[in-house]
Amino acid sequence: MANLLDQLKSFTTVVSDTGDINAIKQYKPTDATTNPSLIAAAAQMPEYQQIVDDCLKTAREEVGAAASDEQVAAAAFKTLAVAFGRKILEIVPGRVSTEVDARLSFDTDKSLEAARDIIKQYNAAGISNDRVLIKLASTWEGIKAAEILEKEGIHCNLTLLFGLHQAIACAEAKVTLISPFVGRILDWYKKDTGKDYEGAEDPGVQSVTQIFYYYKKFGYKTQVMGASFRNTGEIKELAGCDLLTIAPKLLSELQTTEGTLELKLDKSKAAALDIQKIPMDKATFDDMHAKDKMAKDKLQEGIDGFSKALEDLEKLLAKRVADLNVPA
């Protein structure tokens, strides 16, 4: 009998949610996605110090001998995620997601500037736009940036997505992909209610299911990629979702478990469902966001967490450049 991971791959595009290149080699996903926390963690692993050091040395050459360690680190910081992405693309046949600085999440213009710089780096390395997804937080400003980028041929993955209003705005902006955070939704409801949830009762599973069928009902081309899983039960309940991005620990559990995996999300059923279409503009978005305490709490918490990870990464790079005494 086939293991659950192999069966899942027959229903859904499996994406590795990690910056650990060795883990990506092991589980052979189609795509890979990273975030600031994952890149910060990978940057501290001994096996990836060469990637970090190469970025620092290149940054020193670019900013010059007179630059401080902090200036060198800041220059390297802008290239490190792409350096990991380039290594990942040597392994996966599909795409890598690389994230815009979370501290820009409420600034459309600066998000655009950062996104264009990321894609420029990939292009300079001979990597085409179709192999890269630019990750942006699902704020109204991030979604508007993505709408502009998509028109420029730069494909986007909207992350930190917790509510239907965010998903609808992304679809109407014609973004390539969204990443609703299943596990973080579960975390909020467990804390709020004191209850535990399993299987189809999991609020995160229910959220992704609702978004999936809304998209299929109204013919949106934006794909749904469930993310941030807490257990394999959530993953099994979303078999059939367009994509699922899964951490190595859960990929291992799926790979070592035999059994029968059922198709749970079936797009052919969407047409018969009674779903009301919600026209989306900024006023509607803001109103729905204000009323959805979970989405409001988790979006801000996610931006704060990713911003903290970036600040820690900047400190790590500054310390590393000092330890290396990188010459001009």
Average pLDDT, stretch 1-10?
A: 94
Q: What integer is the mean pLDDT of 126-153? A: 98
Q: Is the predicted pLDDT of residue 100 greater than 70, yes or no?
A: yes
List residues with catalytic annotation: 135
Q: How far apart are CA 135 and CA 102, in angstroms?
A: 9
pLDDT tens-digit map of 166-214: 999 999 999 999 999 999 999 999 999 999 999 999 999 999 999 999 9
**Tens digit of each residue's pLDDT (9 = 90 or more) over 58-67:** 998 888 878 8
Q: Is the pLDDT of residue 328 over 60?
A: no
Over residues 221-227, the mean pLDDT reads: 98
**Mean pLDDT computed over 219-247:** 97
What is the predicted pLDDT for the residue at 322?
A: 81
HEC profile of the chain: CCEHHHHHHHHCEEEEECCCHHHHHHHCCCEEECCHHHHHHHHCCHHHHHHHHHHHHHHHHHHCCCCCHHHHHHHHHHHHHHHHHHHHHCCCCCCEEEECCHHHCCCHHHHHHHHHHHHHHHHHCCCCHHHEEEEEECCHHHHHHHHHHHHCCCCEEEEEECCHHHHHHHHHCCCCEEEEEHHHHHHHHHHHHCCCCCHHHCHHHHHHHHHHHHHHHCCCCCEEEEECCCCHHHHHHCCCCCEEEECHHHHHHHHCCECCCCCCCCHHHHHHCCCCCCCCCHHHHHHHHHHCHHHHHHHHHHHHHHHHHHHHHHHHHHHHHHHHCCCC
The pTM is what?
A: 0.94
Of the pLDDT bands very low, low, confident and very high (cuts 50, 70, 90), residue 30 is: very high
Give per-residue pLDDT as tens, 248-283.
999 999 999 999 999 999 999 999 999 999 999 999
Q: What is the average pLDDT score of the chain?
A: 95
220 versus 318: the higher-pLDDT residue is: 220
Tell me how far the alpha carbon of residue 321 is from its chain's centroid: 28
Query: Which one is the CATH code of 4-323: 3.90.76.10, 3.20.20.140, 3.20.20.70, 3.40.50.1820?
Result: 3.20.20.70
